[in-house]
Structure 1
Amino acid sequence: MLFGVVMKSFELVVELKNNGPRVGKVAQPIYVLNAESKVEAFLFSSSISFFRSIDLKLQSAVMSGKYIVSAILGSFGIAWVFDYYVSEKKIFGGSTPGTITNKEWEEETDKKFQAWPRTAGPPVVMNPISRQNFIVKSRSE
Structure 2
Amino acid sequence: ARSFADIGDIIRGRDLYRRDKGEETKLEKNLKTIFEKIHDDVTNGKTNGQALQKRYKGDEDKNFFQLREDWWEANRETIWRALTCHAPNSAHYTKSGADGSITESTMGQCRNITGVPTNFDYVPQYLRWFEEWAEDL
Shorter-normalised TM range? under 0.3
TM-score in terms of structure 1 length = 0.18
TM-score in terms of structure 2 length = 0.19
Higher share in helix: 2
Which structure carries more relative contact order (alpha carbon 8 Å, separation 6+)? 2
Larger radius of gyration: 1
